[in-house]
Amino acid sequence: MESEELEWFVVRSQPKRERVAAKNLRESLELEVVCPLVKFQKGTRRGKVWWVEAMFPGYLFARFNRNTQERAVRYTQGVLSLVQFGMHMPSISEKFIDSLKQELGDQEEVVIAHGVEIGEQFELADGPLRGEMGDVVEILPGKERVRLLVEFIGGSREVEVDLMSLLLPGRPGAKS
């Protein structure tokens, strides 16, 4: 390995401190860091709230020269250790990091949206109507629920179900 060669390595952060570790590596050591985040809405007593969490809880990626910067990285605030197997510290391919950065964009986050639209057809994944198909007729805000029109007992009936109990046809686990 050349003394000036930069490679990507997996950095293990202290619990729930991925962003702190990433910020400190960027600011104090001026390293290139990728700390992927996922943003999603979650129902709470206050209503729907946006949450941001690490895509890889406890881990981030940093580009540095192992020969000259490893010690500084290890002792950066928020960093717990570097991922290694015995004495071997694997590097991450530039191709993987580039594709991850392309997917994440400038904000380093992916927004996870439920993406349910009125009129879409879904399969029920659990409950007494498991396997039945239904069309979304209403999205119930703040409840993480939808109302589906399902054919059963000799006619069409509206049923209210949890958003997480729906499978989009053609997805793994759904009927074809």
The 10s digit of each residue's pLDDT in 83-107 is 999 999 999 999 999 999 988 888 8
* Residue (of 36, 98, 29, 23) closest to 70 by Cα position: 29
Higher pLDDT, 143 or 40: 40
Whole domain around residue 154: which residue ranges? 121-167
Judge if pTM exceeds 0.85: no
92 and 49 within one domain: yes
Find where tokens 């530039």 sit.
94
Based on the domain organization, do 72 and 141 belong to the same domain?
Answer: no
- Per-residue pLDDT, averaged over 111-140, amounts to 80
Question: For position 92, which CATH number holds?
Answer: 3.30.70.940
d(C-alpha 31, C-alpha 135), whole Å = 50
Q: Is the predicted pLDDT of residue 136 greater than 70, yes or no?
A: yes
Would the pLDDT of 11 be above 50? yes
Decide: 35 and 19 in contact? Cβ < 8 Å.
yes
Q: What is the mean pLDDT of residues 9-19?
A: 96
Does 126 lie in the same domain as 104? Answer: no
12 and 98 both lie in a single domain:
yes
Q: Is there a single domain that holds both residue 76 and residue 146?
A: no
pLDDT-based confidence at residue 23 (cuts at 50, 70, 90): very high
| Domain tally, the chain | 2
Q: Are residue 72 and residue 155 in the same domain, yes or no?
A: no
The token duo for 30 is 């001026």
Report the b/e string of 143-170 with b at 16+ CB within 10 A.
eebbbbebeeeeeeeebebebebbbeee
